[in-house]
Amino acid sequence: MTESTRRTEIMEAVERLLARGGLNAVTMRAVAAEADVSLRLVQYYGSTKDELLSATLDRLADKSVERWRARTRRQGDESPLEVIKGFYDEALPTDRASQDFHRVGVCMEGLALTGTDMAGQAYQRHLGGVEDHLSGVLESGGLSATAARRLALEVMALAHGVGTLVMTGQLSETDAQTLIKNYLERLGPQLSP
């Protein structure tokens, strides 16, 4: 088995543990058992839990951003409003992959709030990357750099909040989609040339 394949298996094991049981479920021994590999092999790919979490978040973030971009490309319209719509389609926890990603994100958010460890820094990098991409799209759509950044943060905050409300059962998926649709309708005129 190639090194890349083995590393992927270990990262997938971390993802599954996080999705099922949160941060407390992730131990080096639990990852080894979940991946069906030796503890020594897990330690080779991440000498600490923090390193494993950081690498896993980076991997999940890349997958999520690629899914987001793929949704936008399929729509064939890369206007700022469609990019934001694609972002919400990806960010709202409406399928297994987006639910798992949201759950992992909330776990990492806790690390980012409580310290400066690698996993928390990885989450901050992910948020910064999303903000930069959204800001860039909005700026290319005619908004000033300041307005684009503010709107990107607003879009991200709404997605996070609504996602958490859906995951905790406070908001149904249908109500969340209606809320986002209404927001996009109000936002549309601001983004029109």
- Is the CB of residue 45 less than 8 Å from the CB of residue 10? yes
Which pLDDT tens digit goes with each residue over 65-87? 777 767 656 555 567 888 888 88
The CATH superfamily label for domain 1-47 reads: Homeodomain-like (1.10.10.60)
Per-domain residue ranges for the chain? 1-47, 50-191
Q: What is the CATH number of domain 50-191?
A: 1.10.357.10
193 residues of the chain, pLDDT tens digit each: 788 888 889 999 998 898 888 888 999 999 999 999 999 999 998 888 888 888 887 787 777 777 776 765 655 556 788 888 888 988 888 888 778 778 877 877 877 777 667 777 777 888 888 888 888 888 887 889 999 999 999 999 999 999 999 999 999 999 999 999 999 999 988 777 6
- What pTM was computed for the model? 0.78
* Residue 177, pLDDT score: 94
* Residue 129, pLDDT score: 83
* Residue 154, pLDDT score: 95
Contacts made by residues 161-169, CB under 8 angstroms, sequence distance 24+: 162/92, 163/91, 163/92, 163/93, 163/102, 164/102, 164/106, 166/92, 166/93, 166/94, 167/93, 167/99, 167/102, 167/103, 167/106
- For residues 193 and 190, what is the distance between their CA atoms, to the nearest angstrom? 8
* Residue 130, pLDDT score: 84
